[in-house]
């Protein structure tokens, strides 16, 4: 038998080595998060803590936040769950407030789009406006989170913040966490404070929170000695439940079909934010079926003295106009200028929630 030539053996050994290296390289994972990051690639949204794709699209308006210098209310425009625009639809005005608003609000708007959250710095010299802005912004984000979660299955946890309920001792506002259509958690994000109110709040609110979770509704008993706080709590809780119900319906949860319309006949009940007027708050609730307003009602309206007569004569006409036009572009009722303005503002807020 002929012996292999030394040169031939060397060539064969080298070819085997190269083949082995190629084989090892072919087994290397196709993706390497560390190298992707080093190369400037993007980390998947979940890892980066960003909003998931396929989220809310359209406008979401936060609840008005009252400050010492006037109300602040923020509206967000969102695309696939990301904030593309932020604006203040209400802000303090008059005198020195005009200058502060003009300089601070644009900076806050920009900060929100950059941060994609309510974790933005207050603007120096605009402490109250900044605080109100962030409070209303958080409310808008809560609504957006709830609306986005509504389409992701009935087991998705959603956080919904009710409208602020004014009481003689201060505002009450309730936030609930809903899982599988049931209240899993309730908390008061605003409650009367100062003096005797601190004691009343600390003793009554925890009991009201527990009752809300236990009953799963706003049909809870008032706490003895905390009549006003209890009433405000239940009103804000009902508002949160209305929003949760509407958002659940929008996502394909609870719906009512009329005839064979299917999804086009889905019914939603939406409560707009309370609009403050010189004579008291106005708050509108609408029923939307198939994308059209089928019913409108004022759950809050000015009352007492002359206001009773104005409300009783103007609100039914405003309700009819809202159904007839299907929008907030309705005529004011003569002699009820303030009530009409508040009605249209709250109606627009409800329509924003419906995406209309």
The residues, ordered by sequence, that sit 6+ positions from 289 with a Cβ below 8 Å of its Cβ are 256, 258, 265, 266, 267, 268
Per-residue model confidence (pLDDT) at position 291: 79
Q: Are strands 165-167 and 170-179 parallel, antiparallel or unpaired?
A: antiparallel
Which alpha helices (H) appear in 168-305, and where do they start and end? Answer: 196-215, 227-250
Tokens at 271, concatenated: 């409560």
Q: What is the pLDDT of residue 71?
A: 92
Question: What pLDDT does 30 receive?
Answer: 39
Spatial separation of the C-alpha atoms in residues 71 and 93, rounded to whole Å:
9
What is the chain's alpha carbon radius of gyration, rounded to the nearest angstrom?
A: 28
pLDDT-flagged residues of the chain (< 70): 1-55, 148-156, 248-266, 355-356
Question: Would the pTM count as exceeding 0.95?
Answer: no
What is the residue whose two structure tokens read 């003793």?
203
Looking at residue 260, its pLDDT comes to 37
């Amino acid at each position: 038998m002929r012996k292999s030539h030394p040169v031939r053996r060397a060539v064969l050994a080298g070819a085997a080595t190269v083949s082995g290296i190629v084989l090892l390289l072919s087994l290397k994972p196709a993706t390497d998060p560390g190298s992707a990051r080093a190369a400037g690639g993007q980390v998947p949204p979940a890892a980066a803590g960003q909003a998931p794709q396929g989220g809310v699209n359209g406008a979401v308006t936060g609840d008005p936040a009252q400050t010492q210098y006037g109300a602040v209310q923020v509206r967000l425009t969102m695309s696939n769950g990301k904030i593309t625009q932020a604006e203040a639809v209400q802000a303090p005005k008059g005198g020195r407030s005009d200058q502060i608003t003009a300089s601070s609000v644009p900076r806050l708007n920009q900060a929100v789009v950059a941060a994609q959250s309510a974790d933005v710095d207050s603007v120096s010299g605009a402490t109250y406006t900044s605080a109100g802005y962030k409070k209303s912004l958080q409310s808008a984000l809560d609504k957006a989170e709830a609306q986005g979660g509504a389409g992701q299955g009935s087991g998705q946890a959603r956080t919904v913040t009710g409208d602020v309920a004014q009481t003689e001792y201060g505002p009450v506002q309730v936030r609930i966490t809903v899982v599988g259509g049931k209240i899993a958690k309730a908390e008061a994000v605003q409650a009367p404070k100062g003096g005797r109110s601190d004691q009343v709040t600390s003793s009554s609110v925890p009991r009201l929170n527990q009752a809300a979770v236990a009953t799963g509704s706003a049909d809870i008993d008032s706490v003895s000695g905390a009549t006003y706080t209890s009433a405000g709590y239940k009103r804000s809780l009902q508002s949160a439940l209305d929003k949760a119900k509407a958002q659940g319906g929008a996502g394909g949860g609870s719906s009512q079909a009329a005839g064979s319309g299917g999804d086009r006949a889905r019914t939603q009940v939406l409560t707009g934010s309370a609009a403050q007027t010189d004579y008291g708050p106005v708050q509108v609730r609408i029923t939307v079926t198939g994308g059209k307003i089928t019913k409108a009602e004022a759950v809050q309206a000015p009352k007492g003295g002359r206001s009773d007569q104005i409300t009783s004569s103007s609100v039914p006409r405003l309700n009819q106009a809202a159904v007839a036009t299907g929008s907030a572009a309705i005529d004011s009722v003569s002699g009820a200028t303030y009530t009409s303005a508040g009605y249209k503002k709250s109606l627009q807020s409800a329509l924003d929630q419906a995406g209309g």
